[in-house]
Amino acid sequence: MGWPIRDVLRRTRLAAVVCCAMLGLTAARVVAAQDVAGAATTAAARLPFFVGERLTYRVHAAHFGASGRLSMLVDTTEVVRGTATWVLRFDFQARVGPFKAVDRTESWLDPVRLTALRFHKHERDPLSKHDEHVEIDGAAHRWTGDGGTSGVIASDAPLDELSFMYVLRTLPLGGSTAAAVRYDRHFDAARNPTLLRVVGRRTLTTEAGTFRTVTVEMRVQDERRYHGEGVIRLDLTDDDWRIPVQIESDMPVVGRTRMTLASQNHPAADHIAAVP
């Protein structure tokens, strides 16, 4: 037996109300997503990197004639816990004879507040393997990782090792050598402080061209990798874009490693520090 006509009408009206509510919710989500994306787009106008930036490097290591490649990419946008982020990717591969060392790192960076919300890392070499998956909640001052690991965050704008490399490009580096500046922004308190110091300026030639650079020494705390303090030296273009032209650091197994810029995709107008 069919439903009475009034029940059909009532159910039809109810379905229409639900449908409108769902459409309204969807529209609200779209507007919210557009607002979030709009804020991120506005932030992009003042940053020295952009979604789609790709930097590639030749890798030369001290031990056993190791060589390889590195790419650093601002890959895409992704909303994390309601915040629009830029996904940063670091992909390092080096070969030592028949063996390969790999470091794939990802960071989800809020381009408005310049703070990290998520961090993933995968390292593999002939002697070890290491993985990290961390959620970073700066508002709650807590981070949580694999296996129930967690900790308190001291900074209101926490970073990880990869996002710091990008935020470094936004910092004032002074006109000459200066005393070290301390930053306590790593989400893991054991990894603080990071000390930055401008140690000079020079001209470097790589596959990507010849550039005037500012040389920055970065002292980091990393018990797992460096058994204490490690030193990373970066040559950044001496202009507003601060493109890393050369990076020198100690890497597991392959030893002291030099990464020199092979290609980049900034518009020609950005190349203020390029030497003709």
Residue 66 has a CB neighbour count (10 Å cut-off) of 21
Domain that holds residue 33: 1-45
Q: How confident is the model over 68-80, as pLDDT tens digits?
A: 999 999 999 999 9
130 and 26 share a domain? no
Distance CA 118, CA 160 (A): 9
Q: Is the dihedral of CA 125, 130, 136, 142 positive or negative?
A: negative
202 and 179 share a domain? yes
Q: Is residue 196 over pLDDT 70?
A: yes
Within-domain flag for 104: yes
185 and 108 share a domain? yes
What pLDDT is attached to residue 10?
Answer: 43
Q: Are 134 and 118 in contact (CB under 8 A)?
A: yes
Within-domain flag for 276: no
Q: How confident is the model over 211-221, as pLDDT tens digits?
A: 999 999 999 99
Q: Which of 160, 30, 173 is nearest to 107 (CA)?
A: 160
Q: Please report, rounded to a whole number, the percentage of residues in the chain having pLDDT higher than 90.
A: 64
139 and 122 share a domain? yes
In the numeric block, the tokens 């001291």 are attached to 154
176 and 152 share a domain? yes
41 and 53 share a domain? no
Within-domain flag for 34: yes
Distance CA 209, CA 245 (A): 9
154 and 225 share a domain? yes
Within-domain flag for 275: no
Span 253-265, mean pLDDT?
A: 89
41 and 146 share a domain? no
Domain count, the chain: 2
Q: What is the pTM of this model?
A: 0.83
Q: How confident is the model over 122-159, as pLDDT tens digits?
A: 999 888 899 999 999 999 999 999 988 999 999 999 99
